[in-house]
Amino acid sequence: MAKRDHTFVCQSCGAVYSRWQGKCDACGAWNTIAEEVAVAAAVPAAQRSSRKGRAFALESLEGVGNPTPRLVCGIGELDRVAGGGFVPGSILLIGGDPGIGKSTLLVQASAALATRGLNVVYVSGEEAVDQVRMRAQRLGLAGAKVGLAAETNAENILATLAGGPPVHVVVIDSIQTMWSDSVESAPGTVTQVRTSAQLLVRYAKQTGACVILVGHVTKDGQIAGPRVVEHMVDAVFSFEGDGGHQFRVLRAQKNRFGPTDEIGVFEMTGGGLKEVANPSELFLSNRDLGAPGTAVFAGMEGTRPVLVEIQALVAPSSLGTPRRAVVGWDPNRLSMVLAVLDARCGVRLGGHDVYLNVAGGFRIAEPAADLAVAAALVSSLTGAPLPADAVYFGEASLTGAVRQVSQAPARLKEAAKLGFARAVIPAGGQDGSTPPVEVDAISSLAQLVASIAAR
Ligand code: TYD
Ligand code: MG
């Protein structure tokens, strides 16, 4: 018998080592390296014989006449994140924490696609067929014509799909439960997941079916196990939200066929996920009007403006190193705003604990929130509430100047729509047209601090 070729593979990032070690040099994770049978050893020798390649004809860039239309499911928030519907022949990965609602979302999407006459197959590797049925019943979708299976073997799934009528969409819930006969590692290992994903990618490209993979996420937000799968797929979406809140955000992290800055907002209800057409209303629904330390930020998520409340609490610290706690924003960005306030505006927070929270559990990625954060911080420090009818946006530079941000008109329009009367924004950047709200244009953070102090 041929000597088995064993390798040691990091289960977090897929790095391969010749011997076991405690820490992965590639991703820095501890205790993630496990012994696996190398992929090459798992392929029978006969198949590895060096055969000559087969020549093929090259194609030209021109001639993509009419691409196949996208598969629109009718759940607007999902279609928009996908870039206007799913692309036939593409493969996408939806990651998220356990229990966040991935299976719910995909059962709803499968049913929606099926009612539009598409042939949809939902393969669950985690739940029995009856459990998926129960979920569909609870969602009121039991009548949808979705092909259902509980299966974890990739070859069996592909054989089933090949044996039936042409399939438009295949959902695999989840990729971590899949295994292939061609490799000997245990299910759930990087090698298994990667091999199964490879088989499914090939299936999608060959048949033109759209394959949707569900992936679990580790504590630090990575799609668990194989980061390699992220490189193999056409799109990676993350489904986020926190346990204490009912709303969920679908975010595109990578998309070969659409934008990556769009979000889809859903609310988890007793009857499944409901679309939230106007997220700003949801995020601003429980505002503490008149409390110091809160500012409304007019943000943009892709093409859509989203207004959220930023809350800051600044309190004298009893610790040698004051606490800095941030929920929903980049902590490094907070440090920068604090440093600029200190160095350029004389606002000293070195001896204070600082807590910053984006209300509703939303996560902001834009630097445009700098101005709103600074306003909330200064308001909390001075105890002077900000005007309840004002929104803020603008990026702070290290010099203390306030920089313009993109899509100011759309932000102002949304603010006016939600009943705000004024906006504190960077000077310049107005295109001459009358803004829908009263604009208070400022050019530096010092100006903002002075105006709050004067209140
Ligand atoms: P699920 O889709 O199973 O999560 P995932 O596949 O990401 O692990 O969602 C499970 C959670 O959603 C569970 O805590 C119950 C809740 N839920 C509802 O609130 N309403 C519903 O209609 C359904 C089906 C689930
Ligand atoms: Mg699930």
- Sketch out the chain's domains with CATH numbers: 6-44 (no CATH), 76-277 (3.40.50.300), 282-453 (3.30.230.10)
For residue 333, the surrounding DSSP H or E stretch is: helix 331-345
* Token representation of residue 369: 């929130």
Which of the ligands is closest to the CA of residue 241? 1
> Is 269 within 8 Å of 246 (Cβ atoms)?
yes
Closest ligand 1 atom number to CA of residue 214: 6
Please give the Cα distance from 109 to 113 (Å, whole number): 6
Q: What span, in angstroms and rounded, lies between the C-alpha atoms of 24 and 10?
A: 6
Helices (H) and strands (E) in the chain, counts: 13, 21
User: Could you give the count of Cα atoms lying within 13 Å of 291 in the half-sphere of its Cβ?
Assistant: 12
Closest CA relative to residue 264, chosen from 281, 279, 280, 249? 249
Question: With contact defined as beta carbons under 8 Å apart, do 126 and 135 qualify?
Answer: no
Q: Which ligand is nearest to the CA of 107?
A: 1
Beta bridge partners of 355: 313, 325
How far apart, in whole angstroms, are the C-alpha atoms of residue 158 and residue 164? 10
Judge if the beta carbon of residue 191 lies within 6 A of ligand 1.
no
pLDDT of 227 reads 67
State how far the alpha carbon of 254 is from the alpha carbons of 83, 225, 230, 312, 422, in Å: 11, 18, 9, 32, 36
Q: Environment class of residue 330 by beta-carbon count within 10 Å: exposed (0-12), middle (13-18) or buried (19+)?
A: middle
Beta strands (DSSP E) in 169-303 are 169-173, 210-216, 235-240, 247-255, 263-269, 272-275, 294-301
Other Cβ atoms closer than 10 A to 148: 16
Separation of CA 104 and ligand 1 centre (Å): 6
Q: Which atom of ligand 1 is nearest to the CA of 174?
A: 6
The confidence score (pLDDT) of residue 360 equals 80
| Gap from CA of 97 to ligand 1 centroid (Å) | 11
pLDDT given at position 39: 52
Residue in the block written with tokens 């609602």: 101
DSSP 326: E
Is 101 labelled as part of a ligand binding site? yes
Report the DSSP beta bridge partners of residue 442. 426
ipTM of this model? Answer: 0.96
Nearest CA to ligand 1 atom 8: 99
Nearest C-alpha to atom 2 of ligand 1 is from which residue? 101
Cβ 264 under 6 angstroms from ligand 1: no
Please give the chain's pLDDT, 455 residues, in tens: 445 578 888 877 778 898 999 998 988 888 888 887 755 544 555 555 567 888 988 888 877 666 778 999 999 999 999 999 999 999 999 998 888 999 999 999 999 999 999 999 999 999 999 999 999 999 999 889 999 999 999 999 999 999 989 999 999 998 989 999 988 878 777 888 889 999 999 999 999 999 999 998 765 555 555 567 888 999 999 998 876 778 899 999 899 998 888 889 999 999 999 999 888 888 888 787 888 999 999 999 888 899 999 999 999 999 889 999 999 999 999 999 999 999 999 999 999 999 999 988 888 989 999 999 999 999 999 999 999 999 999 999 999 999 999 999 999 999 998 999 999 999 986 666 788 899 999 999 999 999 998 87
Per-residue pLDDT at 224 = 53
Could you list which residues have their CB under 5 Å from ion ligand 2? Answer: 103
- Is residue 333 in contact with ligand 1, taking CB distance under 6 Å? no
Among 328, 327, 377, residue whose Cα is nearest residue 354: 377
Q: Atom of ligand 1 at shortest distance to CA of 239?
A: 7
Is 208 marked as binding a ligand?
no
Q: Which two tokens stand for residue 131?
A: 């459990």
**Cβ-based burial of 254 (10 A; exposed 0-12, middle 13-18, buried ≥19):** middle
Q: Is 96 annotated as a binding residue?
A: yes
Residue to substitute in 238, 268, 273, 274 for testing ligand 1 pocket (most ligand atoms within 8 angstroms of CB): 268
Burial track 373-388 (b if 16+ CB lie within 10 A, e otherwise): bbbbbbbbbbeebbbe
Q: Is the pTM of this model over 0.90?
A: no
Q: Which two structure tokens, joined as six digits, stand for 377?
A: 């911080």
For a substitution probing ligand 1, which of 78, 102, 104, 269 has the most ligand atoms within 8 Å of its CB? 104
Interval between CA 239 and ligand 1 midpoint (Å): 12
Q: Which 3-state string (H, E, C) describes 14-35?
A: CCEECCCCCECCCCCCECCEEE
Question: How far apart are the C-alpha atoms of 416 and 401, rounded to whole Å?
Answer: 26
